Amino acid sequence: MATYSPFIAANKFGLGLQPGELTEIEPDPRAWLLAQLPLADRQPPRYQGMESSARLIEQANDDYRTRQMIQQDGQISANEVRPLREIRERNARMFADQSNQRLAVAIESDTPFAERLVRFWSNHFSISLATNKPTTLYAGLAYENEAIRANINGRFEDMLISVASHPVMLTYLDNISSIGPNSPAARQRDNLGLNENYARETLELHTLGVDGGYTQDDVIALARILTGWTVNLPTRNGNLPNPQSTIGAFVFYPVLHEPGTQQLLGKSYLGTGQQQGISALRDLARHPSTARFIASKLARHFIADQPPASAIDKLAKVFADTQGALPSVHQALVELDEAWDPSMKKLKTAEDFIVSTTRALPGVPLSDEVLKILSDTLASFNQRAFTAPSPAGWPEQAEHWGGPDALLKRVEFINMVGGAVGTDFDAREIAPLILPADSALQTAVRRSESRTQALTLLLASPQFQWRA
């Protein structure tokens, strides 16, 4: 039977211990984690009053179109300099603010397990704002809240459909440019065609997995099924797909949709418009390969880079038995003996490392200046929010985060932190509040020549660098 360590609860399931938090966890680490699950869809205080993705996409689109008009002839008049500068400054500010606020939410969170789950699923359904898709530049955080956080206490299929119908995802993976070959739009204009990007990633990354049993024909069928799933922004002729719908929101546009029945994974889906896509996505979410794929990713994230097959089997069974009820799957994760095995550990990603470092130092003010420094540091590690290198999201494996260059950057960050706040904290007092007892580490911290050196040794220790 497993021993339920409060340090594993906080460091592997959570985002790192805050001094004083240990006494809250120690009586029952599993209960502490499970109590957070009903709160996982709670909107963090920092996000209260946030604009909807539709409004942010409309604003970003307006800025993009204005910028295009100013720059179209290659010359900028004196009257155009100021509005162009304001747009560029707003682009930079809105992009940076999303990263800053997301980082602050993780550092401040009193439900760190719930927050890690949001980030796991957000990475599973990864998007990037660092692309040539300017209409989504302001809406990455809104996407995460609307498609991921809002559905984290429901079924996987509901999250999948919410993601599939979210303007940010549809734009990021080019579904807005996918036209049914036999659709009314294709018959009226040349050079229009099917874009398979989103359909392929839905099968490979979001549901079945690369070895999930689908073929290229299935990719094409799903791409056809999802034609017409687009964003309510002006088309080339300036008209909205649906004038009665909210600008910047999802809209099903029948003019783009491929008519007729489609065959996906051996099943026929009648030409029922938008419902055709919803039915296909629900079936993909309930497919046995999806249960296995999701279980593998959860086990890899929460247990080890090479998780035990037994853990994957248990999670896949719960996923299948509950038809993807995420609270049940998350509870099963907490109840896995394998997850509490101290020999199973995960190297912290750059974000984990920066968040857990800041959580370990109580009283550090999260001012705009501090958040900018932290976000810029994340950018130097190539893990700034909503800039994943591919639709597969951020890698999980230690070799990605533990290379020589990455470790050198960690040392530089630790030295910066030690130099900035080292004299304010006594590492001898902090160590037992955030890490399990370790005689070698305790001795090294105790023998340090200064508080700054002691804090540096603590943060650079293997015990702190790993989620264990």
Token code pair at residue 262: 């489609």
Element containing residue 280 per DSSP (H, E): helix 274-285
Measured torsion, CA atoms of residues 399, 440, 433, 305, in degrees rounded to the nearest 10? 20
> What pLDDT shows up at residue 436?
93
Q: Give the whole-angstrom CA distance, residue 364 versus residue 108.
A: 11
> What pLDDT shows up at residue 468?
87
Whether the per-residue pLDDT at 191 is higher than 70: the answer is no
Rounded mean pLDDT, 345-364:
95
Fill in the amino acid letter for 14. G
Residue with token string 């807005």:
176
Rounded mean pLDDT, 241-253:
97
Rounded mean pLDDT, 284-290:
98
Q: Give the CA angle between residues 315, 106, 326 to the nearest 5°.
A: 25
> Which ranges in 305-403 belong to alpha helices (H)?
309-321, 326-334, 350-359, 368-380, 398-401
Judge whether 455 and 422 are in contact, CB under 8 Å: yes
Q: Give the whole-angstrom CA distance, residue 427 versus residue 421.
A: 11
Whether the per-residue pLDDT at 2 is higher than 90: the answer is no
| Long-range interactions of 87-95: CB distance < 8 A, separation 24+ | 87/63, 90/63, 91/63, 91/134, 91/137, 94/56, 94/60, 94/137, 94/138, 95/129, 95/137, 95/138
Rounded mean pLDDT, 361-378:
93
> What pLDDT shows up at residue 78?
84
Rounded mean pLDDT, 92-120:
97
Convert the pLDDT of each residue in 432-457 to its tens digit.
999 999 989 999 999 999 999 999 99
More confident residue, 239 or 55: 55
Q: Give the whole-angstrom CA distance, residue 346 versus residue 301.
A: 8
Judge whether 301 and 342 are in contact, CB under 8 Å: no
Convert the pLDDT of each residue in 291-324 to its tens digit.
999 999 999 999 999 999 999 999 999 999 999 9
Mean pLDDT of the residues in the chain: 95
Convert the pLDDT of each residue in 370-401 to its tens digit.
999 999 999 999 999 999 999 999 999 999 99
Q: Give the whole-angstrom CA distance, residue 165 versus residue 203.
A: 16
> Which residues face 267 on adjacent strands?
264
Residue 188 Cα distances to 179, 184, 192, 293, 417, angstroms: 12, 6, 10, 41, 61
> What pLDDT shows up at residue 75?
81
> What pLDDT shows up at residue 79?
85
> Which ranges in 129-257 belong to alpha helices (H)?
140-143, 156-164, 167-172, 184-188, 197-201, 216-225
**How many C-beta atoms lie closer than 10 Å to residue 2's C-beta?**
14
Token code pair at residue 13: 């399931």
Percent of the chain at pLDDT > 90 equals 91
Rounded mean pLDDT, 340-363:
95
More confident residue, 187 or 160: 160
Token code pair at residue 233: 């922004």
Whether the per-residue pLDDT at 190 is higher than 80: the answer is no
Rounded mean pLDDT, 89-117:
97
Judge whether 336 and 303 are in contact, CB under 8 Å: yes
**How many C-beta atoms lie closer than 10 Å to residue 45's C-beta?**
9
Whether the per-residue pLDDT at 189 is higher than 80: the answer is no
Q: What is the maximum span of the chain, computed from C-alpha positions, in angstroms?
A: 78
User: pLDDT band at residue 235, thresholds of 50, 70 and 90?
Assistant: confident
Q: Give the whole-angstrom CA distance, residue 385 versus residue 443.
A: 37
Strand bridging mode 262-264 / 267-269: antiparallel
Percent of the chain at pLDDT > 70 equals 99
Whether the per-residue pLDDT at 80 is higher than 90: the answer is no
> What pLDDT shows up at residue 187?
83
Q: Give the whole-angstrom CA distance, residue 167 versus residue 51.
A: 14
Residue with token string 């927050």:
115
- Predicted TM-score (pTM) of the model is 0.96
Rounded mean pLDDT, 125-136:
95
Convert the pLDDT of each residue in 401-439 to its tens digit.
999 999 999 999 999 999 999 899 999 999 999 999 998
User: pLDDT band at residue 73, thresholds of 50, 70 and 90?
Assistant: confident
